[in-house]
Amino acid sequence: MAKLLSVLGALLPLLHQADAVGYTNVSEVPYYGLSPPVYPTPEGNGGNSSSWQAAYARAYSLISQMTLEEKVNVTHGHGGQCVGNSGAVPRLGLPQLCFADAPDGIRGQEFVSSFPAQIMVGASFDRDLMYRYGKALGEEYRGKGINAALLPVAGPLGRVARGGRNWEGFGADPYLSGAGMENVVLGLQDQGVIGTAKHFLLNEEEFRRNPGELGEAMSSNVDDRTIHELYAFPFMDALHAGVASIMCSYQRANNSYACQNSKLMNGILKSELGFQGYVVSDWGGQHAGVASANAGLDLVMPDAGYWGGNLTQAVNNGSVTDTRLDDMVARILASYYYLNQDQGYPEPGVYPYNVEHEIIDVRGDHASLIREIGAAGTVLVKNVNNTLPLKNPRYLDIFGYDAKLPASPWTNPSRFGGGYEVNFGWNTLNGTLITGGGSGSSTPPYVISPFQALQDRVLKDRGTVRWDFDAENPIVFANAEACIVFINAYASESFDRTTLQDDFSDRLVQNVAANCSNTIVVMHDAGIRVVDSWIDHPNITAVLYAMLPGQESGNAIADVLYGDVSPSGRLPFTVAKKESDYGLLLNSTISFEPFPQSNFTEGLYIDYRYFDKHNITPRYEFGYGLSYSSFDYSDISVECHDDTAPEYVPSTTNTTTQGGDSALWEALYTVKASITNSGEVAAHEVPQLYLGVPNAPGRQLRGFERVFVKPGETQEVEFKVTRRDLSIWDVLKQDWQLQKGRYSVDVGRAVEILDSRIRFTGSKVR
């Protein structure tokens, strides 16, 4: 069956689009490496949202009663119980607002949950799980009286394969990341907690992210089209969902620090995208006073930074206007009122670890959700002769440091107060890895190790377990029905990874496989892990990417290994055959003339787009993942809802909806397909929609659905294709352009799988 998806609109000359299509000389790109000034800061007014408008009315009513000093006091951090504490105005009944990490659970506290990292949530390719994840986090943050949760994360997106914080995001694709941002924000803010989407913008590596003894921070130099179509894209989804706060990032962007970059904050965020909430600095991310205020920063953390009395003086001498200060305060207060936090919100219940305090247990039944996401985000990439699921083995060998509980990680007092830091798995060989390191790490109330969960299963079958967690060349017992090897790859804030493989782990896998004909490898990784040194060994029968699953790690992987859950996770990144295949996207690539510069010369082509463009065959493509069942795809169709859509959306104004003009979010087409379970196991399948947009990367993810299908059953899935999904950013008109031309439509199991793909070519749809 063949069809062609077409849209109306005149096609402009494309010479000026070369900056994002792929260029060789960055000096030819307009404004490349420069950040055009955009002043003044648009004033928040509620836009076209009645809820925001009502919040602003209340905010300005309170502001009218405040002194200059009280207003300034609200705009910066103070000491207190939390990682961040805003200024209070006690005489007017305005409390401090409590800010806390982390994206996968409240950091440094007791009786809280350790959720899977966002990378695992992304690997589930399940919007419902994304929402439930945000909702559960919201319940815990609210229960602890935390006003602002420092989540979700879309920066880094995952440009640099070895990036230290890639695990904090949903995956290396803007559409997938956007779906995660949208649904987590909805779930979180439905509980009345302020979401803080971060890090805005272009925070793609840890190397030289801050100034220091070596000089200024590095500058992420990115063309305007790539900023819009790739890096700002997922933040648009968070904004459209109503996110009330944005955190600006540490590094420079086009040679202007992100927290004083007027193009990013005044131009893109508050003008084009109509943001009504407040911009908060990353902790210590402010590097100037007047410049940051006038560029759109509203709240500095964790202390007064360059503001405090200096801001009072700047307002008095006219360097910062009264209206800019009022707007800063109004944006903070409006967010507070927008989430109805003045109506019975709990007092902060976070405490240092070394002070006796009230026990506040906020976990509810979140362990079951954590276990469900841990299984749903596990990606099976190899399964020879249906090795998995296990058939109730009575004799298992279990090897590898990642199978055990780590030694105590409760050793690092918090840098910012409000508890303690925990790097669970901070030493890679120390034990099972359930989260990454740094401010994004969570604090588990317990951990179910893989060994514990598997041992319990074997004991129920009156079996025997043999184990060795430490040896590189362990003894393999002849009667074992399977040998399961657990390895991991750690990553953290503050530094990038030095390798995507590990010599010790690789030797361990090879040594076990040399002596065990049924070797199963499970990897808990904070990002990409290359496997080509052992993946083709004939004795390695099954391999799973189990990501960072949180406290229920062992139970989640046992559910998949034993077949209680058929694996449906999909890779949220591309796994290369060798590290060099990532080319300039492997490491941070910085020049030092005259200041550290990182030129994003690949434009729109990161991850699978890069592999497509350069004709590189990956080991495992983005979106890849196996199942215990099999599926057939059929009956794909495209329905057009509007064949008169104009080439450009109307000019955006500050009264536009958050996330951009409402026309961008209108569905112009619906793509449908039928999915039949032709196997023998009831399982989830994850069909994915890829569009080929003219003058853009040949394939871009623009839809996915996780659907449960019983054997012999057929389920229809549909993907709504919006104007934004079909558009490119016109750098001359500074608007989203809907081109006239040929658009390919692919529905399949992954970006490069051909055997389960349906593609349209041929007749037009109007």
> What is the Cβ-side half-sphere exposure of residue 371, based on CA atoms within 13 angstroms?
18
Number of continuous H segments (helices) and E segments (strands) in the chain: 18, 32
CB atoms within 10 A of CB 742: 13
**Which of 162, 153, 172 minimizes the C-alpha distance to 230?**
172
* Mean pLDDT within 495-508: 96
- In this prediction, residue 300 carries a pLDDT of 98
Angle between the 366-376 and 127-143 helix axes, to the nearest 10 degrees? 150
Q: Are strands 700-704 and 741-748 parallel, antiparallel or unpaired?
A: unpaired
- In this prediction, residue 763 carries a pLDDT of 26
- In this prediction, residue 87 carries a pLDDT of 98
Q: Which domains does the chain have, with CATH numbers?
A: 367-573 (3.40.50.1700), 629-762 (2.60.40.10)
pLDDT digits (tens, 9 = 90+) for 313-324: 999 999 999 999
Distance CA 653, CA 706 (A): 36
Q: Helix or strand or coil: residue 204?
A: coil
Q: How would you write 240-298 as a 3-class SS string? A: HCCCCEEEECCCEECCEEHHHCHHHHHHHHHHHCCCCCEEEECCCCCCCCHHHHHHCCC
* Mean pLDDT within 475-501: 96
pLDDT digits (tens, 9 = 90+) for 588-603: 888 887 789 999 999 9
Tell me if residue 173 is catalytic. no
- In this prediction, residue 414 carries a pLDDT of 43
Q: Helix or strand or coil: residue 269?
A: helix
- H or E, element range at 247: strand 245-248
- In this prediction, residue 765 carries a pLDDT of 29
Q: Which distant-in-sequence residues (6+ apart) come within 8 Å of 507 by Cβ?
A: 472, 473
Distance CA 165, CA 153 (A): 10
Residue 415: pLDDT over 50: no
Which is higher by pLDDT, 23 or 721?
721
pTM of structure: 0.94
Angle between the 50-63 and 322-338 helix axes, to the nearest 10 degrees? 130
| pLDDT category of residue 29 using cuts at 50, 70 and 90 | low
Q: Which two tokens stand for residue 673?
A: 């397909």
Distance CA 120, CA 545 (A): 10
Q: Is 584 exposed, middle or buried (0-12, 13-18, 19+ CB in 10 A)?
A: middle
Q: Which two tokens stand for residue 51?
A: 């809820």
Task: Find out whether 380 and 542 touch, Cβ atoms under 8 Å.
Answer: yes
The amino acid that residue 744 corresponds to is S
Pick from 371-385, 608-622, 647-661: least confident? 647-661
- In this prediction, residue 16 carries a pLDDT of 35
* Mean pLDDT within 17-35: 55
Taking the CA atoms of the chain, what radius of gyration do you get in angstroms?
Answer: 26
Pick from 131-140, 182-191, 193-202, 638-647: least confident? 638-647
Q: Helix or strand or coil: residue 148?
A: strand
pLDDT digits (tens, 9 = 90+) for 254-263: 999 999 999 9
Task: Find out whether 296 and 265 touch, Cβ atoms under 8 Å.
Answer: yes
Helices within 581-717 (DSSP H only):
608-613
Buried b (16+ CB within 10 A) or exposed e, 142-166: bbbbbbbbbbbbbbbbbbbbbbbbb
Q: Are strands 688-692 and 741-748 parallel, antiparallel or unpaired?
A: antiparallel
Residue 417: pLDDT over 50: no
Q: Which two tokens stand for residue 254?
A: 């086009």
Of 104, 282, 496, 502, the active-site residue reads 282
Dihedral of alpha carbons 382, 497, 164, 111, sign: positive
Task: List C-alpha distances in Å: 561 to 72, 457, 693.
Answer: 56, 11, 39
Task: Find out whether 659 and 274 touch, Cβ atoms under 8 Å.
Answer: yes
